[in-house]
Amino acid sequence: MSPGLRAFARLVTAIAVVTAYVALQLAVTAGVDLRARDRFRDAPTRAAAFVTALDRYADGDVSARAGIREGDTWFEDNAPSGESRSTVSSAAGDAQEGRISLAHERVAGLAAQVEQDQAALDRDLGSSGMVALWWAVAAGVLVVAALWLRHRRRSGAAEIVDLVSRFTPRQPWWRRPVFLAASGAGYGLFAAGFFAVTMAQRQGYKLPVATQVLLLPCGLAALGAGFLVLRYSRPRSARGAAQALLADGREPVLYLRSFADDDSAARVEDGAPVNLHSREEQLAGALGAVGPVIAVGRPGEPLAHLGAARFYLPRDDWQPVVLRLMELSQLIVLRLGLGEGLWWEVEQARACQPARKLVLLAPGGQPGVAERLNRLLPVPSQLDQATAGDPWVSAVIVFDPEWTPQVQQVGASTKIRRGALARLAPTRSL
């Protein structure tokens, strides 16, 4: 699915959700109108009984007062705020105070008023029902369109979803919603704690002493609790590779690296005052402008690292799957390292894939990487001159159609932001 069509699908889905919500609210209003009309259905009989009770009370039947009160209560509870309700209330008050003749004068047109109120309720019900029906039809059309676009989006990634699904562990359906809710609570605690600590530092001297004493420790406690909740819940709420592909619909970004580098990728450090996102999460965020980021998980790991969505290949038969994934991915991002399996992947990407699809991330402080890479390229990369910095990612390498390397140094002031790698990579659709 093209970026323009994908944006259109999102717009249609958003409009469908809003339209369905409005239709639901209008349907509730129509239901309320229907209930009001049904409750007022017996109004002519009740009005006649009320007039009869007034006549009996005028003839001296004291027991008729109960009938007058009953009629007044019924109209108070079931009549719309129209003339009949006001007339019955006023007439009941007059009768209670002994003004029977005035009460008779008030109810002289009660039957006609009841008919008018019933007609008004019928009009309200017809109007609200028709409006709700039209909104429901519009919502239905938009929902069908959104579902069709969703199916088309998913069908574009059907082959790679089928391939990755074979190697994605199944999880209980409730797992992700539960841990997403826990993550939301953790973010709330973290934000509240950060706000409290900041307030205590900057404005604490303006607050009462008791508030000053409580604000900082409570803020620190909330920060710590939020951090612990997020540390536990966020990895458990992450999507697997198949889910990420289905949710996005675009061709993926295949992220390849040495498993030995996962611990380094899981570190959190970017100089921000408060940051919860690891190096790999930030990298996946930058690549997310291109497509969903997937990666082979380390075999046997109890919990996937955050960042690229994981799937797990068998130890003895992983190479054919990786080759097929290279073909189906729109971008291959490979972090250079020292593992032999990693260099096999570099060689296969160099031999079998277009140069525009490959992006190399070069760490600093790893001797021998530049020399080994240069043996695979027609022109030396001069990588050794650009990788003296960050041990995580010191340089980004892209290639022209003739496999001539173009090295972009990444320094402390050149963070990999969302879309930055997409702008560097000379691919067909980026």
What pLDDT, in 10s, does the model give residues 283-332?
999 999 999 999 999 988 988 999 999 999 998 889 999 999 999 999 99
pLDDT at 274: 62
Q: What is the pLDDT of residue 313?
A: 94
Identify the segments of the chain with pLDDT beneath 50. 413-414, 418-419, 426-430
| Count of C-beta atoms within a 10 Å radius of residue 263 | 9
pLDDT for position 411: 60
Do residues 377 and 405 lie in contact, with contact meaning Cβ atoms separated by under 8 Å? yes
pLDDT at 423: 52
Q: What is the pLDDT of residue 418?
A: 47
Residue 135 tokens, joined: 């909104």
Q: CB 427: neighbour CB atoms within 10 A? A: 17
Q: What is the pLDDT of residue 392?
A: 82
Q: Is 149:12 a contact under the CB 8 Å cutoff?
A: yes
Those residues with Cβ within 8 angstroms of residue 310's Cβ, 6 or more apart along the chain or in another chain: 168, 240, 241, 294, 295, 296, 297, 304
Other residues' Cβ atoms within 10 Å of the Cβ of residue 77: 9
From the list 359, 358, 384, 362, the residue with the least C-alpha distance to 371 is 384
SS3 assignment, position 364: coil
Which of these, 83, 22, 96, 18, lies nearest to 47 by C-alpha position?
83
**Which residue(s) pair with 399 in the sheet?**
405
Instruction: Give pLDDT, residue 359.
Output: 96
pLDDT for residue 1? 63
* Type of residue numbered 329: S
In the DSSP assignment, the letter for residue 48 is: H
Tell me which H or E stretch contains 181. helix 175-203
Residue 372: phi, psi to the nearest 5? Answer: -70, -40
Q: In terms of Cα–Cα distance, which of 121, 105, 132, 110 is closest to 35?
A: 121
Q: Which residues, 6+ apart, have CB-to-CB distance to 181 below 8 Å? A: none
> In which element (H, E) is residue 29 found?
helix 3-39
Within 59-109, residue ranges assigned H as helices are: 64-78, 83-96, 100-106
In this structure, which long-range contacts are made by residues 404-413, counting pairs with CB atoms below 8 Å and at least 24 apart in sequence? Answer: 404/377, 404/378, 404/379, 405/377, 405/379, 405/381, 407/362, 407/381, 407/382, 407/383, 412/271
Which residues on neighbouring strands pair with residue 255, listed in sequence order?
Answer: 295, 333
First-residue to last-residue Cα distance in the chain: 13
- DSSP conformation class of 246: H
Nearest Cα residue to 176 out of 262, 266, 237: 237
Half-sphere exposure (Cβ direction) of 223: Cα atoms closer than 13 Å: 15
State pLDDT tens for residues 333-365. 999 988 899 999 999 999 999 999 999 999 887
